Structure 1
């Protein structure tokens, strides 16, 4: 308790405490009244939102979108974005990056050429096998076996 309160007589202290109790009761009553009004307003708001087709998910999505827009507009975010762009440009213009990028492009081109050669060669060989006399003979035998088993 404050020093001035302690300087009061016991009777004056009791009077002061009673004033504070009354004030506390009034403040608590006002708080209770505000809670009741707020609860009523929340119910009315929910009912109107339901009638308008506004969902909790829609509100959440809008809040998140607005929050992201607010963050993007801050000077801190814009400064970070500028720094990231500077670092990205520095990395991509570095000689080591250029050499690595060139090596990867060359490797990709060679791999594509190699795989294209393999698949082209395989297609040609499969075509040749299918047109061979041996394959046709085997194909006819399998066909006749199938027909005999089926009957």
Structure 2
């Protein structure tokens, strides 16, 4: 029974990648009358015409926008700069950016304090070493 199922294709199945969609379409899932087929063909032609018209209108609008931008002196570089500026503003006002910035500021302050403490400790040690060295030099008789 399994072999019979593998060879049969269900009429309502969706074509897989690589399958010939035309073959699937040419084998309608339900039988249409000549009148229904003619109505569908007419609707298809109408929708294709509408798509063509919309494409032409869109192309004309894009050309018009380009002309307006040219007259205003808006160059692609200016638009790019504006987009970058807008994007950076959006980033800097985001919650994640603000939280990260606050965390890094706190970490920087703590690191500065730690380095300052280490620096002070090193300075004190160096002072102690130099004072001891001086005391040792003074206490030792001059060698001849």
Aligned residues: 99
Question: Is 1:53 matched with 2:73?
Answer: yes
Greater relative contact order structure (CA < 8 Å, 6+ sep): 2
Whole-angstrom distance in 1 between the partners of 2:80 and 2:108:
34
Query: Structure 1 residues 79 and 28 mapped into 2: Cα distance closer, same or farther (>3 Å)?
Result: farther
- SS of equivalent to 1:84: helix
Deviation at 1:46, TM superposition (A): 1.0
What is aligned with 2:116?
Answer: 98
Query: Structure 1 residues 24 and 79 mapped into 2: Cα distance closer, same or farther (>3 Å)?
Result: farther
Deviation at 1:18, TM superposition (A): 6.1
Match of 1:74 among 77, 94, 102: 94
TM-score, length of structure 1 as denominator length:
0.51
Query: Structure 1 residues 93 and 50 mapped into 2: Cα distance closer, same or farther (>3 Å)?
Result: same
- SS of equivalent to 1:92: helix
The RMSD of aligned alpha carbons is 3.2
From the two aligned structures, give the one with the greater helix fraction. 1
Q: Which runs of 5+ in 2 are unaligned?
A: 1-10, 14-27, 124-144
TM-score, length of structure 2 as denominator length:
0.53
